[in-house]
């Protein structure tokens, strides 16, 4: 019997790489996203809307009777200081990045408890470990995901449910390019130069690749990581060690 994995935001970037990796490992993968994808079993779902998330996952459970792995990946980037962050901006970031994780975990837990097994993986950020400038709301949301991983790990360890947060550094994804494009548009900077500068900031001298994050996620999803829970798994080319 195939294991069942649910991935939020699996149509692009890190999420897409995760879906592809799990499919290659013979999981049945459900991708909840607003962007259509032909990879995995796509379900249109706005992850920022709690009722939609719960309904989508309940439908998966009715179909499969199990949820083995949840990867909460859907998220948005937002650059601004606290002064330049409106209440609406903060609500938008938290609705997707944090409440989306809350809704997907809450919907999966009853089935995982009944199974007495499950692996929950939240895609956080190196910004759960360190602060970065001009990143008030995004940093706050990613630190929240790290907290969710820790509290969920403790609350559900008795059910053999593990929860971990993966904390990528700078990974070359559509989200990364969108953030760089926005910065260059506002500042007039040259994108090629900024891209080179970002790579130079990493001790390994390059940006990360989505498939590298997917490899770590697949390990945390697997039985090979059964004694790992409540952890923050940094994958950042050494950036946060500086």
pLDDT (0 to 100) of residue 138: 97
User: Are 41 and 33 in contact, with CB atoms under 8 Å apart?
Assistant: no
Whether 174 has a pLDDT exceeding 90, the answer reads no
In-domain check, residue 181 = no
Under 8 Å between Cβ of 179 and 79: yes
- Which pLDDT belongs to residue 89? 98
| Domains: count for the chain | 1
Q: So what's the pLDDT on residue 179?
A: 84
Burial environment of residue 14 by CB neighbours within 10 A (0 to 12, 13 to 18, 19 or more): buried
Domain that holds residue 25: 4-171+209-241
Per DSSP, the residues of 111-123 read: HHHHHT-EEEEEE
Give the CATH number for residue 138: 3.40.50.720
Phi and psi, residue 234, nearest 5°? -85, 130
- The CA distance from 225 to 242, in Å, is 27
- Across the range 23-47, mean pLDDT stands at 98
Residue 183 placed within a domain: no
In angstroms, the CA 141 to CA 124 distance is: 8
Q: What is the pLDDT of residue 201?
A: 94
Report residue 182's pLDDT band, with 50, 70 and 90 as the boundaries: confident
Q: Which residues, 6+ apart, have CB-to-CB distance to 95 below 8 Å?
A: 48, 49
Mean pLDDT in the chain? 97
Q: Does any domain span residue 190?
A: no
Asked if 3 and 28 touch (Cβ cutoff 8 Å), the reply is: yes
Does the pLDDT value for residue 145 go beyond 90? Answer: yes
| Mean pLDDT across 216-235 | 98
pTM: 0.96
Q: What is the pLDDT of residues 63-91, one digit of tens each?
A: 999 999 999 999 999 999 999 999 999 99
Q: Is residue 93 part of a domain?
A: yes
d(C-alpha 43, C-alpha 37), whole Å: 9
Is residue 32 domain-resident? yes
Classify residue 233: in a domain, yes or no.
yes
Query: pLDDT band at 168, cuts 50/70/90?
Result: very high
Give the model confidence (pLDDT) of 199-213 as tens digits.
999 999 999 999 999
Cα distances (Å, whole numbers) of residue 52 to 16, 113, 186? 21, 22, 35
Q: Where are the alpha helices (DSSP H) in the chain?
A: 13-24, 50-64, 87-97, 99-115, 136-156, 174-187, 191-201, 210-221
Residues with Cβ within 8 Å of residue 88, at least 6 apart in sequence:
none
The catalytic residue among 27, 138, 156, 239 is 138
> What mean pLDDT is predicted for residues 210-234?
98
Q: Using alpha carbons only, what angle is made at residue 81 by residues 80 and 84, rounded to the nearest 5 degrees?
A: 75
Tokens of 209: 């690749």
The mean pLDDT of 126-154, rounded to a whole number, is 98
Instruction: Note whether 13 and 179 are within 8 A (CB).
Output: no
Distance CA 175, CA 181 (A): 10
The answer to whether 138 is a known catalytic residue is yes
The helix/strand/coil state of 30 is strand
Asked if residue 22 belongs to a domain, the reply is yes
Per the domain annotation, does 147 fall within a domain? Answer: yes
């Amino acid at each position: 019997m195939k294991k069942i994995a649910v991935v939020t935001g699996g149509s692009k970037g890190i999420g897409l790489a995760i879906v592809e990796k799990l499919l290659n490992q013979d999981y049945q993968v459900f991708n909840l996203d607003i962007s259509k994808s032909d990879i995995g079993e796509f379900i249109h779902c706005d992850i920022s809307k709690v009722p939609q998330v719960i309904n989508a996952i309940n439908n998966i459970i009715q179909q499969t009777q199990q949820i083995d792995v949840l990867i909460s990946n859907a998220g948005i980037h937002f650059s601004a200081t606290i002064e330049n962050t409106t209440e609406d901006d903060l609500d938008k970031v938290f609705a997707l990045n944090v409440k989306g994780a809350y809704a997907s975990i809450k919907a999966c837990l009853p089935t995982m408890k009944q199974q007495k097994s499950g692996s929950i993986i939240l895609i956080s950020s190196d910004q759960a470990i360190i602060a970065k400038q001009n990143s008030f709301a995004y940093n706050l949301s990613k630190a929240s995901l790290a907290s969710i991983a820790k509290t969920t790990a403790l609350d559900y360890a008795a059910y053999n449910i593990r929860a971990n947060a993966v904390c990528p550094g700078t990974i070359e994804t559509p989200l990364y390019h969108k953030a760089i494009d926005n910065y260059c548009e506002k500042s007039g900077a040259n994108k090629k130069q900024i891209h080179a500068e970002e790579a130079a900031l990493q001790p390994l001298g390059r940006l990360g690749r989505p498939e590298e994050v997917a490899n770590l996620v697949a390990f945390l999803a697997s039985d090979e990581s059964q004694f790992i829970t409540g952890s923050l798994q940094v994958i950042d080319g050494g950036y946060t060690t500086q």
